[in-house]
Amino acid sequence: MGVLKILRAAASGDKQADRVVPPSGYTATLTGFSAAAMAFLAVFTLALALATGRLADRWSAELARTATVRISAPKGQMQAQTTAVLNVLKTTPGIKSARPLSDAEQRKLLAPWFGPDLPLDSLPIPRLIEVVEKDGGPDVEGLRLRLAAEAPGAIYDDHTRWRQPLVNAARRLRLLAGISMALIALATAAMITLAASAALAANATVISVLRLVGAKDTYIARAFVRRFTLRALGGAAVGTLLAMGAVLLLPSAAREGGFLTGLGFQGAEWILPLLIPFLAAFVSFWATRMAALRTLRGIS
């Protein structure tokens, strides 16, 4: 029997098959509660995965668009090298704009380390030029060679060394969120397998009567599978809706805000958590089916 046929049979149901298994009491409540709790966690994990993805993209994009030229030269050559660098940058394809930072701006950058009264004139502070790149950016290697020729004290820093660890960290967070989702699915499968096994054990007499009157294993399994699948679907739907409501109530994502304010769904992303109940139902379907068929093989 193909997967689609099995799923269709489970979804359409068989009232006669459903009736043969008596209501299974606490296992029903436990299955629904477990599915709801797992769906709740899954929604937050999904939100975390999407937020870290956005964060990685944002950090990557923002840092990729800017670069800095640092000029370390004797005091008498500083102005000449700054002018030469600006001329080089102006004529380099892929550079949108370049401007030297003012003394006040440089002082502000260094203030956290040296205090606000930094005597810039008496210290060999390098001159910084802020560069904004166009999409695609310049030919960095070519630019470095030209800078070396025109202004030997200039170093072009495209922030790769800052950007990469941040992007790596965000990617790892996203990977962890993915692993968490997989663990949630496995834990759901484990809990539903235990609940289904308990229900099967509690209904050993029913199963033995059904076998006696000629029921195939798939018929008996179907009654349990449909019941547990529907419970998981219902429980997960409740958990998902509650979690989506909680995510909705989180502070809105501001661009200048920290990471947590970006924990949520944006636009079409809101569709993704709605898939979680169906994923839970799918996991429940296979977990119960495997548990049922394994148990039934032990009954003559």
Q: Which residues bind another protein (CB under 8 A)?
A: 16-17, 19-20, 22-23, 205-206, 208-217, 219, 296-297, 300
**Least distance from another protein to the Cβ atom of residue 300, Å:** 5
- Residue 150 or 217: the one with the smaller Cβ distance to another protein is 217
- Residue 75 or 297: the one with the smaller Cβ distance to another protein is 297
- Residue 14 or 269: the one with the smaller Cβ distance to another protein is 14
Give the number of C-alpha atoms closer than 13 A to the C-alpha of residue 9, restricted to the C-beta side: 17
- Residue 213 or 271: the one with the smaller Cβ distance to another protein is 213
Count Cβ atoms below 10 Å from residue 97 Cβ, excluding itself. Answer: 11
**Least distance from another protein to the Cβ atom of residue 18, Å:** 10
Tokens representing residue 191 in the block: 């809990």
- Residue 223 or 237: the one with the smaller Cβ distance to another protein is 223
**Least distance from another protein to the Cβ atom of residue 193, Å:** 21
- Residue 99 or 216: the one with the smaller Cβ distance to another protein is 216
**Which of the 8 DSSP states describes residue 159?**
S
**Least distance from another protein to the Cβ atom of residue 246, Å:** 39
Per-residue exposure over 199-227, b if at least 16 CB sit within 10 Å of its own CB, e if not: bbeebeeebeebbeeebebbebbbbbbbb
Q: Which backbone phi and psi does 203 adopt, to 5 degrees?
A: -110, 30
Residue that the structure tokens 């975390």 belong to:
48
- Residue 164 or 208: the one with the smaller Cβ distance to another protein is 208
Tokens representing residue 123 in the block: 């210290």
**Least distance from another protein to the Cβ atom of residue 52, Å:** 49
**Least distance from another protein to the Cβ atom of residue 227, Å:** 14
Per-residue exposure over 29-63, b if at least 16 CB sit within 10 Å of its own CB, e if not: ebbbebbbbbbbbbbbbbbbbbbbbbbbeebbeeb
- Residue 206 or 241: the one with the smaller Cβ distance to another protein is 206
- Cα separation, 72 vs 44, in Å, equals 49
- Cα separation, 260 vs 180, in Å, equals 18
**Least distance from another protein to the Cβ atom of residue 22, Å:** 4
Give the number of C-alpha atoms closer than 13 A to the C-alpha of residue 82, restricted to the C-beta side: 15
**Least distance from another protein to the Cβ atom of residue 212, Å:** 6
- Cα separation, 99 vs 67, in Å, equals 11
Beta strand extents in the chain (DSSP E only)? 66-71, 95-100, 127-133, 154-157
- Cα separation, 75 vs 124, in Å, equals 8
**Which of the 8 DSSP states describes residue 251?**
P
- Cα separation, 296 vs 220, in Å, equals 8
